[in-house]
């Protein structure tokens, strides 16, 4: 199994991951409905968030396993990798609550969906408060199911314990990264170093490095390959998040599932913002800063902010950084410790994670 294109490197286990998640959700839906049939709409919302996405974390886990010499046809690695999708669902649900986002992948965010359920039935109390509370609980449930699915993947107890090193680190780091991101927004920080630190922990380690480490650990080669996967995963993860941040401002809503300039309305202190403020004149920087995070940001204000991002050179600087970090990831793949058949797919994943629309 040696994909020759970026899309095939991503999709090679996608259908298998989808099947694992479908079967797990079907089994656990029955368990929830035994508690009470009222849980059906909550399970619908959970399945909706799990059913979408690019499956990048399972993909990196799988190729981390293959790069460590693991059997590409071993079904256990697919189940273990699939468990990361529940962790991702937890992060997305909670992230949307924190940011008060209206949409996710073109659909109502989980807390908005549950608020709509409350309003539709005319229940007592505040619909938004119910929606947030229900979403937090669903995110917690996804976190619990991630652990359950990993533990039931079929690997021997000692192998699972070996995998716990990166698995546990990943969960701690993504929560820490999310906290830092939240903190930077309320502090109003917009420096390059602060933005890079958030990207490292919230995205790079979580999306690429730790999934690769997990694959290597389950294959019994964590100590040997951890450094190689870090050299590849951190720069690629930063490049991936930087591309996502660019798309969060300039992306096509039909592709991103969010309105144009949504990150500007949410006031995200991204590297795009940091570069814009650092490269703009005092008056423009002050106006940009005053508009950032305004929930009622007008279309004309979004257009002006996008124009400043481009004219200041910030967009070009971010594109250059994406290329630089992607090249670092490619260089790391030259390590002789990697299984030769995995180098091509891992190289393809650099392209898949950093292309201009994804």
State pLDDT tens for residues 35-55. Answer: 999 999 999 999 999 998 889
Q: State pLDDT tens for residues 293-330.
A: 888 899 999 999 999 999 999 999 999 999 999 999 99
pLDDT (mean) for 243-272: 83
Separation CA 323–CA 92 (nearest Å): 27
Angle (CA) 99-118-129 rounded to 5° is 40
Please determine, for residue 1, whether its predicted confidence score (pLDDT) is greater than 60. Answer: no
Task: Determine the pLDDT at residue 105.
Answer: 84
Residue-averaged pLDDT of the chain: 93
* Residue 162 clears pLDDT 50, i.e. is over it: yes
Query: In this predicted model, what pLDDT tens digit does every residue of 87-111 receive, in sequence order?
Result: 999 999 999 999 888 889 889 999 9
Token pair of 57, please? Answer: 């974390």
> What residues does each domain of the chain span?
6-354
H/E stretch holding 104: strand 103-104
Q: What are phi and psi of 68, to 5 degrees?
A: -95, 10
Which band of pLDDT confidence, cut at 50, 70 and 90, is reported for residue 4? Answer: very low
Per DSSP, helices labelled H in 36-156 are 40-51, 56-67, 75-99, 110-121, 127-151
7: pLDDT confidence band, cut at 50, 70 and 90?
low
6-354 belongs to CATH 1.10.600.10: yes
- How far is the C-alpha of 202 from the C-alpha of 178, rounded, in Å? 6
pLDDT of residue 141: 98
């Amino acid at each position: 199994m040696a994909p020759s294109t970026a899309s095939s490197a991503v999709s090679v286990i996608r259908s298998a991951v989808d099947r694992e998640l479908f079967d797990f959700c079907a089994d656990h839906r029955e368990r929830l409905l035994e508690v009470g049939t009222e849980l059906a709409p909550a399970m619908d919302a959970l399945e909706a968030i799990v059913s979408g996405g690019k499956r990048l974390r399972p993909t990196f886990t799988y190729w981390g396993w293959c790069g460590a010499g693991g059997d590409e046809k071993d079904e256990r690695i697919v189940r273990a990798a699939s468990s990361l999708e529940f962790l991702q669902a937890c992060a997305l649900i909670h992230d949307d609550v924190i940011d008060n986002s209206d949409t996710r992948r073109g659909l109502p965010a989980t807390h908005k969906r549950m608020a709509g359920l409350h309003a539709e039935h005319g229940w007592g109390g505040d619909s938004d408060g119910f929606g947030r509370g229900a979403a937090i609980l669903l995110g917690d449930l996804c976190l619990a199911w991630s652990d359950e699915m990993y533990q039931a993947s079929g690997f021997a107890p000692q192998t699972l314990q070996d995998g716990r090193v990166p698995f546990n680190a990943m969960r701690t780091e993504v929560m820490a990264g999310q906290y830092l991101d939240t903190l930077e927004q309320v502090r109003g920080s917009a420096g390059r170093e602060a933005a890079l630190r958030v990207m490292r922990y919230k995205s790079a380690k979580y999306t690429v490095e730790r999934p690769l480490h997990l694959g290597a650990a389950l294959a019994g080669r964590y100590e040997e390959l951890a450094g190689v996967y870090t050299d590849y995963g951190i720069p690629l993860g930063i490049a991936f998040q930087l591309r996502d941040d660019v798309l969060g401002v300039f992306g096509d809503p039909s592709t991103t599932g969010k309105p144009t300039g949504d990150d500007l309305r949410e006031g995200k202190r991204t590297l795009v913002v940091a570069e814009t403020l650092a490269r703009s004149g005092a008056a423009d920087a002050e106006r940009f800063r005053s508009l950032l995070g305004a929930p009622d940001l007008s279309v004309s204000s979004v257009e002006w902010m996008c124009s400043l991002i481009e004219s200041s050179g910030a967009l070009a600087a971010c594109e250059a950084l994406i290329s630089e970090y992607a090249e670092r990831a490619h260089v790391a793949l030259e390590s002789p410790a990697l299984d030769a058949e995995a180098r091509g797919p891992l190289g393809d994943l650099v392209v898949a994670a950093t292309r201009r629309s994804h």
